[in-house]
């Protein structure tokens, strides 16, 4: 009986090990595939020099031409110095599709950096929202967590945001952890006063005070990813910045 129980225990342990190993292997393959895909996309993107904004604002900027042929959902690019964040931005008809699909629409747990479906890339609204996962290998929006370190924040107060039509410098004015109870992803405002109320709440939530002045006439960009401190499922880490159009 003891020998039989020992064999059963060994089989069970082996089964658990194999199951866990399969999960780790699957994750490693997804990470590898994501790095490979992003490397290819970055190489394609940077092969063409960015020529700035054309006089006709509805003309697609040259840096995006090749990538649009591969995915017409492409709407922009985000680059944050001091991080791995140097990625294309896509947009679907909902906020679900690119949670688990890469730039080529293949299934991958890393998903993509994607813009809220309510935003319009041709006429940037008051609050442009980008989403991305926090991957354990440091990819996608995981390194937004660096902004929780004040020294990093002071040394990297801006980032680059390009759309198909415009180029912006984003001046960071808020970093905070919150939950989905706070509607920081609001995109439609009944009045300037309602928008100003959101801006005031954002500044209250922020870990830092900055000299960046944000008024009702300004446009902001919101970077949103998961955070597990306040709530395992509804927690979010948010970085928000004022958009300043480049000349």
**Residue 13 annotated as catalytic:** no
Query: CB-based contacts of 25: which residues, under 8 Å, 6+ apart?
Result: none
Maximum distance among all alpha carbons in the chain?
A: 84
The answer to whether the beta carbons of residues 115 and 128 sit under 8 Å apart is yes
Q: Which two tokens stand for residue 140?
A: 């996608």
Distances (CA, A) of 145 to 53, 134, 171: 32, 9, 17
Query: CB-based contacts of 82: which residues, under 8 Å, 6+ apart?
Result: 146, 152, 155, 156
The answer to whether the beta carbons of residues 91 and 71 sit under 8 Å apart is no
Active-site residue (options: 226, 231, 235, 244):
226
Residue showing tokens 């995981």: 142
Burial class (CB in 10 A: 0-12, 13-18, 19+), 217: exposed
d(CA 151, CA 128): 26
Q: Which two tokens stand for residue 192?
A: 């300037």
The H or E element spanning position 5 is helix 2-47
Backbone phi and psi for residue 51, each to the nearest 5 degrees, phi listed first: -95, 5
Tell me which residues are annotated as active site.
226
């Amino acid at each position: 009986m003891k020998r039989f129980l020992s064999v059963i225990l060994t089989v069970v342990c082996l089964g658990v090990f194999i199951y866990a190993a399969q999960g780790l292997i699957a994750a490693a393959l997804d990470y590898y595939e994501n790095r490979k895909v992003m490397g290819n996309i970055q190489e394609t993107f940077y092969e063409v020099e960015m020529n700035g904004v054309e006089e006709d604002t509805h003309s697609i900027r040259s840096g995006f031409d090749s990538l649009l042929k591969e995915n017409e959902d492409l709407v922009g690019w985000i680059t944050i110095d001091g991080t791995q964040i140097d990625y294309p931005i896509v947009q679907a008809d909902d906020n679900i599709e690119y949670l688990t699909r890469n730039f080529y629409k293949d299934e991958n747990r890393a998903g993509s950096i994607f813009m809220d479906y309510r935003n319009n890339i041709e006429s940037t609204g008051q609050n442009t929202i980008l989403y991305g996962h926090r991957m354990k290998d440091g990819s996608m929006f995981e390194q937004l967590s660096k902004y929780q370190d004040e020294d990093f924040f002071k040394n990297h107060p801006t980032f680059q945001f390009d759309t198909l039509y415009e180029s912006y410098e984003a001046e960071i004015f808020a970093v905070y952890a919150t939950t989905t109870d706070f509607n920081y992803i609001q995109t439609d405002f009944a009045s300037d006063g309602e928008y100003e109320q959101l801006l005031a709440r954002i500044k209250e939530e922020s870990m830092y005070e900055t000299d960046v002045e944000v008024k009702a006439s300004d446009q902001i960009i919101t970077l949103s990813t998961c955070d597990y401190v306040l709530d395992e499922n509804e927690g979010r880490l948010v970085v928000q910045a004022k958009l300043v159009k480049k000349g």
